[in-house]
Amino acid sequence: NAGVMQNPRHLVRRRGQEARLRCSPMKGHSHVYWYRQLPEEGLKFMVYLQKENIIDESGMPKERFSAEFPKEGPSILRIQQVVRGDSAAYFCASSQSVQGVETQYFGPGTRLLVL
């Protein structure tokens, strides 16, 4: 089992460009969570998805940010028209189920730098 995979590991964008972050959950996991870690701050929940459904996006900014988890392929976190304040580490986590709230397994993260 390869674990949670994220790519790219590092991403540099200029202000106004788009950033696409990908997350492949562990095999057999159908629950995906995205978290953001701003410099010198803790990890904050952004969005929770199951296959083809957004379950909870209460932590995601209302504008410029979107997420999807299609039936086939990885989960995508998309940031349009990036600004310097979007520079952060973005982590994806997956779990097998929510019942009993199981352990979440984290990927290595994507470090986004906006110039």
Q: Which residues bind another protein (CB under 8 A)?
A: 4, 31, 33, 35, 41-45, 48, 55-56, 59, 91, 93, 95, 98, 100-109, 111
Give the dihedral sign, CA 90/109/22/56: negative
Shortest spacing between CB 16 and another protein, in angstroms: 27
Shortest spacing between CB 40 and another protein, in angstroms: 10
Cis peptide before 25 (omega within 30 of 0): no
Shortest spacing between CB 103 and another protein, in angstroms: 5
Among 6, 14, 16, smallest CA distance to 37 is for 6
